[in-house]
Amino acid sequence: MPIHLLWGDDEAARSRAVEALVTERTDPAWQSINLARLDGNDAAQASQALEEARTPPFGGGDRVVVLQRSPFCNQCPAELAEQLEAALPLIPASCHLVLVSSGKPDARLRTTKALQKLVKAGEAREQSFQLPAVWDGAGQIELVQRTAKELGLQLEPAAAEALSDAIGSDSARLASELEKLALYVGSQAITVAAVQALVGSHATNALQVGDALLAGKPAEAVALVDALLAANEPALRIVATLCGQIRGWLWVSLLDQQGDNDVNAIAKAAGIGNPKRIYVMRKQIRGRKPARFLALLRQLLEVEAALKRGSDPGDAFRDGFLLAP
């Protein structure tokens, strides 16, 4: 399979897949000649990747051409699309063109259709690396188990749950912590006791801040924000996550008041990808009026305005959460 299409927002898992392919297909003695790493943000480098992928390898092993931020499946210029279509039939079996991007391929593009045709024919391979949402507990546990398997580690079920609680969807940190745990336990399976000893307590995420605000606990919300800021979480990203969470609650509350019980319609209107989440949200907001969510959104608007005026992030959140009328 000379074409490899790797996409998704899990950068750490994508990188592991790329390096595994490089290790498997190239001869270390010939890597300086047979391995190319290029950046698709530069159209010239994207074109160069197609040229190199058509060149048979020298010496031992295969040739691997890695194109990060590949443009071929997302807003691909017509000139590059034509070059890709011309190059695909000419790539030797001993060459591997690895197209890497964070976004899902746009199925409407002719380049994506050409690559998907090769995938169906078995001449290309597609892999997705999607991070679970912060509210998707089962998905986060699956991420832990999948990463441990990729690293060749044994993991007790309780340890997977503990790691999920402690790390959430931070794939890069998860791989790092698993490597530490592997050294700690040696040849044994990773246990929950090992996780508690090395990794620590539960992680904080922005959705927990929203839950605290909803429960009328602004001081707890401020403490959670302080933990996020200490972990280098961007302040505006926290605001964006909270706005999305509270806006979703508002939509569910308004549509429930109108008597709309179609969870698929509610999820679509609220911009929520998984309709099953609506059941959880209904339990969270039971007994609360839409005015409560509008008030929370006003608080976040004040926080955002303060941040964009240059206020200290901790002060902006404290003032917005504690001094709100």
What was the pLDDT predicted at 200? 61
The whole-number pLDDT of residue 275 equals: 72
Question: Do 88 and 169 belong together in one domain?
Answer: no
**Could you tell me the CA-to-CA distances from 188 to 3, 23, 258 in Å, in that order?**
38, 27, 56
Are 249 and 282 contained in the same domain? yes
CB-based contact 142:171 (threshold 8 Å) = no
What per-residue confidence (pLDDT) applies to 204? Answer: 60
pLDDT for residue 325: 55
User: At which of 198, 216, 242 does a domain end?
Assistant: 198
Residue 225 CA to residue 299 CA, distance in Å, equals 14
pLDDT at 27 over 90: yes
Q: Are 94 and 56 in contact (CB under 8 A)?
A: yes
Longest alpha-carbon distance in the chain = 73
Q: How confident is the model at residue 228 (pLDDT cuts 50, 70, 90)?
A: confident
* DSSP classification of residue 41: T
Residue among 127, 115, 42, 53 at smallest CA distance from 81: 115
212 shares a domain with 268? yes
Same domain, 113 and 191: no
Instruction: Note the pLDDT of residue 203.
Output: 55
Same domain, 146 and 43: no
Query: Range of 63's domain?
Result: 3-128
Q: Are residues 152 and 54 located together in one domain of the fold?
A: no
pLDDT digits (tens, 9 = 90+) for 53-79: 999 999 999 999 999 999 999 888 899
Mean pLDDT of 249-262: 80
Query: How far apart are the C-alpha atoms of 57 and 92, rounded to whole Å?
Result: 9
- Domain end marker among 182, 198, 214: 198
**85 and 104 together in one domain:** yes
Residue with tokens 């679970």: 132
- What is residue 38's predicted lDDT score, i.e. its pLDDT? 95
pLDDT score recorded for residue 117: 92
The percent of residues above 90 in pLDDT, for the chain, comes to 45
Asked if 167 and 33 count as a contact pair (C-beta separation under 8 A), the reply is no
Domain harbouring 142, CATH code: 1.10.8.60
pTM across the whole model:
0.64
Q: What are phi and psi of 33, to 5 degrees?
A: -100, -40
Mean of the pLDDT values across residues 102-121?
Answer: 91
Q: How many domains does the chain have?
A: 3
Mean pLDDT of 290-311: 92
Q: What is the mean pLDDT of the chain?
A: 87
Query: What's the CA gap between 232 and 110, in Å, rounded?
Result: 40
Q: Is the dihedral of CA 142, 148, 151, 152 positive or negative?
A: negative
Mean pLDDT value of segment 154-176 = 85
